[in-house]
Amino acid sequence: MEISSHQVHLLEQLNEQRKQDLFCDCSILVEGKVFKAHRNVLFASSGYFKMLLSQSSKETTQPTTATFEVFSPETFMVILDFVYSGILSLTGQNVIEVMSAASYLQMTDILNVCKTFIKSSLDINEKDHYLSLSAKSTNSEPTHPSLYRSRRKAKSNPRRSCSVPEEKTNTVNENSWSGYNSYLSSQVILQRTETQLSKRGRKQSTTRKRRKHLGLSQGRDCAQHKSHKAERASGDCSTSESSHISRVREEAKFDAENNVDHGYNHESEAVPKRDLDSGDLPRMRFKCPFCTHTVKRRADLKRHLRCHTGERPYPCDACGKRFTRLEHLRNHFQTIHQAGKLICRKCKRHVTDLTGCVVQQGTRRYRLCHKCLAEANFDSIPDDLDAEHSPTSSTGNKCSKWALEEEQKSDEETMEEEPYNLVVRHVNNDIPDEADEKVKPNLR
DNA sequence: CTGGGGACGGGGCCC
DNA sequence: CGGGCCCCGTCCCCA
């Protein structure tokens, strides 16, 4: 005989224990703020903690400490509350960061809910083409988070909540969100407040220029490229997600500073929005729910949203770097791994297979003309000028080192003798590091 | 310190 | 609607 209330009761008790710091054997440090929790609970809820705690499981007598800098304490609070209550306090303001954090912590349930949250917000506006939310936004609780919870009863929470399919949430049935959709359309107002978004110190956007399109602030000049750098250093896709958080924050901060009205409270956010062109003809625009950007086509919006969600479905097989678009992957691959540019890297002259040859270093390939090759004193395929891998000292002797490196490589890395083939895989971000089985045709 | 170039991200739009 | 191309802006590295 199953007593359904037991699970609820158990979780409530654990939550109480957490709040009273009873039996907490794990401290999580998020940007200086300490959260107490139970190892067992974290282990059961997060793939990240599962890994972390299983590594330190032998030292069970010592309290475990985990430190995070990639998301804010507020975000972690939302996640921790969910872990201990089954209630996920999602808002248009925090959904991106919660999603990124969930991705980092490998909490697929939350990840899927966040995705659905975003998707739902788009679907709503899709259905309500010309239905302005202005009237709806007069609701007394316009900024209340929408609460995702499991089937357990929302005992003590007076706020509206929405049923979330709790079991098998890895495959969230989107149909089950119809209730949420209606809730969303009447309740959820995606807005970003300055207070929330300016909490964390970020690079001042004084140098930021407005983007050319529609005065759009993409904010990528700062955060995106920070992440880009981080990616280069670590190859960790989570950095791109955290960068995306920064970006969104920066956008909001910038907008707040510049008094930009996103119209989130009084316009349909995610999209079709009527616009009058010069000829007074109605023209549909699709509005991004996270920034001021509008596009003509839904597909373009979908593409644009990747810059908010941090989704990078196209990983490079050669170096692991991930891209938001196939064409970017292809360009990267051809340039970096296939020496696609028929230009001598040294003298910048045009080279062909006859007038030059391909030099390889690691996974990178480029071309040198025979002259530069000779000047570099290479007998055979030399290696290169690549800062990432080139020896830092004795620069004068770089070339011989490269050549040597190449000789050594010839034995152990025979596969590098073969040019890389670009196999495009569309990787599901749910499991960032797991190669997707869905292999697209080889593009070459 | 600075300018040039490479790499990359993102938008517009055509097919 | 997806794929692809072109263009532009930004960052980073290096000479």
Q: What are phi and psi of A28, to 5 degrees?
A: -115, 120
**Is residue A96 in a domain?**
yes
| Distance between CA atoms of residues A77 and A266, nearest Å | 29
More confident site: A104 or A77: A77
A439 strand-pairing partners: A425
Assess contact for A36 and A27: CB atoms under 8 A.
yes
Question: Of A13-27, A61-75, A165-179, which one has max mean pLDDT?
Answer: A13-27
Pairing mode, strands A64-68 and A26-30:
parallel
Q: What is the mean pLDDT of residues A323-339?
A: 84
**Is residue A40 in a domain?**
yes
CA of A223 to C1' of C10 (A): 11
With a cut of 60, say whether residue A34 has pLDDT above it. Answer: yes
**Could you say which nucleotides of strand C lie within 7 A of any protein CB atom?**
1-6, 8-15
With a cut of 50, say whether residue A321 has pLDDT above it. Answer: yes
Residue with smallest Cα–C1' gap to C15: A346
Which domain covers residue A368, as residue numbers?
Answer: 342-376
**Is residue A63 in a domain?**
yes
Q: Residues contacting strand C at CB < 7 A? A: A 208-209, 211-212, 220-222, 224-226, 228-229, 297-299, 302, 326-327, 330, 385, 387, 390, 440, 443
Return the C-alpha torsion angle A166, A172, A177, A181, nearest 10.
120
With a cut of 60, say whether residue A436 has pLDDT above it. Answer: no
| Distance between CA atoms of residues A426 and A324, nearest Å | 10
Residue with smallest Cα–C1' gap to B5: A348
What is the CATH classification number for the domain harbouring A61?
A: 3.30.710.10
HEC assignment per residue over A186-243: HHCCCCCCHHHHCCCCCCCHHHCCCCCCCCCCCCHHHHHHHHHHHHHHHCCHHHHHHH
The nt closest to A312 (CA vs C1′) is B9
| Distance between CA atoms of residues A184 and A177, nearest Å | 10
Residue with smallest Cα–C1' gap to B6: A335
Q: What are phi and psi of A407, to 5 degrees?
A: -60, -45
Return the C-alpha torsion angle A35, A37, A41, A44, nearest 10.
40
pTM above 0.85, yes or no: no
In this predicted structure, what is the pLDDT of residue A249? 43
In this predicted structure, what is the pLDDT of residue A70? 67
CA of A258 to C1' of C1 (A): 36
Q: How large is the angle between the packed helices A95-105 and A47-55, nearest 10 degrees?
A: 40
| Distance between CA atoms of residues A347 and A400, nearest Å | 19
Q: Name the strand (E) or helix (H) holding A358.
A: strand A356-361
**Is residue A149 in a domain?**
no
In this predicted structure, what is the pLDDT of residue A82? 92
> Residues 6 or more apart from A350 whose CB is under 8 A from it?
A342, A343, A344
A319 exposed, middle or buried (CB, 10 Å; 0-12, 13-18, 19+)?
middle
**Is residue A363 in a domain?**
yes
pLDDT per residue as tens digits for the range A396-427: 333 333 333 333 333 333 333 444 556 665 55
| Final residue belonging to a domain, choices A57, A89, A124 | A124
Q: Of A417, A400, A399, whose CA–CA distance to A409 is shortest?
A: A417
**Is residue A356 in a domain?**
yes
**Could you say which nucleotides of strand B lie within 7 A of any protein CB atom?**
5-14
Q: What is the DSSP string of A57-93?
A: GGGTTSPEEEEE-SS-HHHHHHHHHHHHHSEEEE-TT
Q: What is the mean pLDDT of residues A171-185?
A: 32
Cα→Cα distances A412→A384, A385, A401, A407, Å? 19, 22, 17, 10
| Distance between CA atoms of residues A416 and A354, nearest Å | 21
Lowest-pLDDT range, A3-17, A79-93, A154-168, A327-341?
A154-168
**Is residue A277 in a domain?**
no
More confident site: A2 or A230: A2
| Distance between CA atoms of residues A115 and A45, nearest Å | 18
In this predicted structure, what is the pLDDT of residue A28? 87
DSSP-derived secondary structure letter, A420? P
**Is residue A418 in a domain?**
no
Residue with smallest Cα–C1' gap to C11: A225
Label residue A159 left, alpha or beta by phi (over 0 means left) and psi (-120 to 50 means alpha): beta
Q: What is the DSSP string of A284-331?
A: EEEE-SSSS-EESSHHHHHHHHHHHH----EE-TTT--EESSHHHHHH
Total count of domains within chain A: 2
Identify the three-state secondary structure at position A275.
strand
CA of A372 to C1' of C15 (A): 17
